[in-house]
Chains A and B, each alone.
Chain A
Amino acid sequence: MRFLKFTLVLIAVVTLSPAAKAQIAVDLSKHQIEITSGFDGAELLLFGYDTRGGEVVVIVRGPPETISVREKERTAGIWINQNEVTFKNTPSFYFVATTEGLRGDGTLETILESLGIGPRYFGMTPVDSNLTPERVNEFREALITLRERDQLYAKEPGHVLMREDRLFRAQVPFPSSTPIGDYTVTLYEVIDGLPVLGAEVPLRVRKAGFGAFVYNTAHDHPALYGIVAILIALVAGWFGGWAFRKS
């Protein structure tokens, strides 16, 4: 069943894409988010048009990561990390928004499942774990919950607002802990309950300004960075003592 669905989607994408391209377009208010020293989250405006005026789904994904989920258990009275499951290919950021017509009744969930995207259907695979599949699932759910808490995964799908049956827009929120890297923003048009790839826009999140300089130096020249850190502290400490001795 799943395979059939996938094949159908594939056929739909292949056959309808050229036509769809002419009728649908999407863009972002910015193609780059710069994390500067004053960065405290950001909100991008996603906008576009769909001449067919159908339902659309927008998905924003951050670069894939390998992540370990650890579970504490009470041992000799204290809580200690005991079990660990490592997942590959987990998106560092995930956001989904949809038009009103697809909300409720599990419609959106079915679409996401058929595409293999959305927190519960990620291709994220556990790396050689000796736990039962049920237990691994608990860890997967924990990962999603923690990411939702940090606002890195959307808890509830956002709203894509349609105007005059062809113009649409959506707000995409990014928290202050937004990870850096290359993101993809994908728009799907839903025709007869089947998602069709509409358009894709790249988005880049990078550190900028003084913060980027500090980060890059720390990673590219770690020994030099360490020495400079010590020198700055020495000068600051000496200066502090000197200034207050005079006064």
Chain B
Amino acid sequence: MHVYLPIAEISVNIFLLLGMGAGVGVLSGLFGVGGGFLMTPLLIFIGVPPAVAVGSEANQLVATSITGVLAHWRRKSVDFKMGSVLLVGGVIGSTGGVFLFKALQKLGQIDLVISLCYVVFLGVIGLLMFSESVRSILKQKRGVAKRGKLHKHTWVHGLPFKMRFHKSRLYVSALLPFFVGTLVGVLAAIMGVGGGFIMVPAMIYLIGMPTSVVAGTSLFQILFVVANVTFLQAWHNQTVDILLALLLLVGSVLGVQVGIRLGAKLPSEQFRVLLAMLVLLTCAKLAFDLIATPGNPFSLALGGGH
């Protein structure tokens, strides 16, 4: 059964969209990631124009992140002060990102930039995740629990505009979360991702937040950033397909629940290796497409460079 997507202007099998939503949803539930980094390339792969894929995926991520934020709010694991600083950066970054997207589209280079961003970030994150989870599996096997230093003093702590974050039990420069938020905002607008896969490691390793508040706080920021991207993409570029977002949503809402239940039963470290491999596989596929000689070097763009 096919459904015609009014903004993407293509006809797609409805079960394929529901299945993609469910599949990425299961992974989201299993690993606590938004799944945008898998969904956006998948959408582009099935023929959705990149701009519509990014806009509609941002729209779908609004739904995924509100579910997460509400759950973390009830558990009181959101640092609203830290989230707000991240958010100021996020709004600035994503607004700039949407305009950058439009400019690159006019130059005919948006597909290239999207692919390059994915290759770089998926490659780095995938390798980090892979090596870390392999290391912790080995550690578990050896049964040695080595404890690192509690506090390391680095260049990060020399930055000005220090602020106290009670919930995170931190006294750090506000510039740090601001820049992390800005970077994630730009990426959200260009790559159609929430950016959790970059923000979570940055919060833990760079800002030094306790892991208990990381997930809730990042989701809080992502919620507003993807809402901002949705609004700007809809307002400026008319590239948000509500029907596409809704169909992906239905699948993912169910998939996430399955993933969470599955995650409770399965050994998480082994599965983290699988996720890392999935991330690296996506990265390799995109890198291959950039390097391999294309079947047809020509492509069409409506409207021209006016």
Contacts and interface: CB of A to CB of B under 8 A. Distances in A.
Interface of A: 35-41, 65-74, 77-81, 84, 86-87, 127, 139, 142-143, 145-147, 176-177, 207, 210-212, 214-215, 218-219, 222-223, 225-230, 232-234, 236-238, 240-241, 244-245
B154 interface: no
A49 to B, nearest CB: 35
B297 interface: yes
Interface string B1-44: 01111110111000000000000000000000000000000000
Contacts of B297: 71-73, 79
Nearest to B236: A222
B7 A215 contact: yes
B234 A222 contact: yes
A230 to B, nearest CB: 5
Nearest to A40: B2
Contacts of B279: none
Contacts of B305: 68, 84, 86
Nearest to B301: A68
Given A78-B290, A230-B59, A241 B234 contact: no
B235 A233 contact: no
Given A81-B108, A237-B66, A177 B11 contact: yes
Given A66-B306, A218-B238, A226-B233, 10 more contacts: A79-B290, A177-B9, A211-B5, A215-B7, A223-B231, A233-B230, A234-B66, A240-B67, A240-B256, A241-B71
Contacts of B240: 218, 225-226, 229
Contacts of B84: none
Contacts of B302: 65-68
B4 A176 contact: yes
Interface stretch (B144-152, B161-169, B191-199, B245-253): B245-253
B227 interface: yes
Contact of A226 (B111, B230, B253): B230
A40 B2 CA distance: 7
Interface of B: 2-7, 9-11, 59-60, 62-67, 70-71, 108-109, 111-112, 227, 230-236, 238, 240-243, 245-246, 249, 253, 256-257, 290-291, 293-294, 296-306
B10 A68 contact: no
Contacts of B245: 229, 232-233
Nearest to A85: B304
B288 to A, nearest CB: 11
Contact of A241 (B60, B70, B111): B70
11 contacts: A40-B4, A67-B304, A68-B303, A142-B298, A143-B298, A212-B6, A214-B243, A226-B234, A237-B249, A240-B63, A240-B256
Nearest to B56: A229
Nearest to B239: A218
List 6 tightest A-B contacts by C-beta distance, closest first.
A226-B234, A237-B63, A142-B298, A176-B11, A233-B62, A240-B253
A139 B298 CA distance: 8
A67 B6 contact: no
Given A177-B9, A233-B249, A218 B4 contact: no
Contact of A69 (B67, B234, B242, B298): B298
A42 to B, nearest CB: 11
A65 B304 CA distance: 10
Given A68-B303, A72-B299, A211-B4, A238 B66 contact: yes
Nearest to B109: A81
A47 B290 CA distance: 48
Contact of A146 (B9, B60, B64, B296): B296
A146 B230 contact: no
A214 B59 contact: no
A206 to B, nearest CB: 12
A41 B11 CA distance: 9
Nearest to A227: B231
A217 to B, nearest CB: 9
Nearest to A216: B6
B109 A37 contact: no
B112 to A, nearest CB: 6
A238 B230 contact: no
Given A143-B300, A225-B240, A218 B290 contact: no
Contacts of B231: 223, 226-227, 229-230
A207 B6 contact: yes
A226 B294 CA distance: 36
Contacts of B243: 37, 210-211, 214
